[in-house]
Amino acid sequence: MNPVSTTATRKSSGNRILRQALIASFYCGLGLSLIGLVVFFAGGQFLWEKTLKALIAPVGLIWLGLLAQTAIFLRYGQWRSAVSSLLLWLFLTLAGNQLVTYWMVATLEKPFLDTRIDSLGEFDAVLILGGSTGMTPAGEVQGGERVFAGYRLFNSGKVKKLLVSGRQNALASDSDLHPAEEARLQLLQSGVPESAIVVLGGLNTSEEIACLKDWLNANATLGIRIGVLSDASHLERALSLCTSQGIQGVGIPSGFATNPFVPNPSIIIPSSSNLSKTEAFIYEILGRWLGR
């Protein structure tokens, strides 16, 4: 038998198997999606309205477009393009899927899911990491879930000093403030005396923890109890950075993305909110690898 002919036959057979697997994968994904959509449409007006909204949202339209593009490539035998398109569709489906992002967020927040702020005892100082505040166009501070948690601790007499941290690379306008200054302003407006607030810097979490270390070296005595307050998904990395600086911090979660699971169209159709959670998960993992 001609070796060249045998090789060509094997290659042809391999390509045929790959094509069949590709077609099967496409129709499997399409079938599951259609079944899911039918289930949601059968759930009454509320669910099918939510499904239609999810489909006409930018992410939903891109999801449908990739699926249609894959079908066109398959129809005209453009196998490599079909594979690329299908892989992008699968990536978007998983990255924006409620079940996947629920698992990601729960993985980050797991160490703090049972933590209650009122059960953590008293602190000599609590560091409120920057990032939860912002400015309105009118120049007022908005947001601040972390700041409010710090205020709760101070108002209940469980902390003596509130340390606020965070800086921006640049300010957007003359009325714009750095995150630490925004948090300070919110605390002052809530009734916390200025003597109880310390402003620290830091462009990222590692720099904020370094600023905390400097403050401790300059002001604190041995045995001081320090709390580190941030989003639950961000807290484990912040505490790891504290350990690297020789700080024995206690994690105080201010907000959770893990919440009771409520089925909705994003189990099938990706959503921007789920994509943002996937993005946050990736940032946290990269931050741990980079030590930031």
Q: Of 45, 64, 95, at which residue does a domain stop?
A: 95
Calculate Rg over the CA atoms of the chain: 26
Indicate whether 138 and 226 sit together in one domain: yes
Indicate whether 84 and 201 sit together in one domain: no
Indicate whether 20 and 82 sit together in one domain: yes
pLDDT at residue 14 greater than cutoff 70 = no
Distance CA 96, CA 107 (A): 17
User: How is residue 292 written in tokens?
Assistant: 């930031």
Q: Is position 107 within any domain?
A: no
pLDDT at residue 43 greater than cutoff 70 = no
* Tens digits of residue pLDDT in 124-173: 999 999 988 988 888 889 989 999 999 999 999 999 999 999 999 888 77
Indicate whether 31 and 61 sit together in one domain: yes
* Tens digits of residue pLDDT in 53-112: 887 889 988 988 888 888 888 778 788 888 898 899 999 999 999 889 989 999 999 999
3-state SS class at 155:
helix
Distance CA 176, CA 172 (A): 6
Mean pLDDT of the chain: 84
Q: What is the mean pLDDT of residues 216-242?
A: 89
Query: What's the structural domain count of the chain?
Result: 2
Pick the more confident residue, 12 or 157: 157
Indicate whether 249 and 128 sit together in one domain: yes
Indicate whether 53 and 181 sit together in one domain: no
* Tens digits of residue pLDDT in 15-30: 665 566 666 666 656 6
Indicate whether 142 and 228 sit together in one domain: yes
| pTM, rounded to two decimals | 0.80
Distance CA 18, CA 94 (A): 22
Q: Of 42, 68, 95, at which residue does a domain stop?
A: 95
Indicate whether 158 and 237 sit together in one domain: yes
Q: What is the mean pLDDT of residues 203-211?
A: 94
Indicate whether 190 and 143 sit together in one domain: yes
Q: What is the pLDDT of residue 4?
A: 42
Residue written as token pair 């990222």: 204
Domain of residue 156: give its range: 114-255
Any idea of the CA torsion for 137, 139, 144, 150, to the nearest 10 degrees? 180
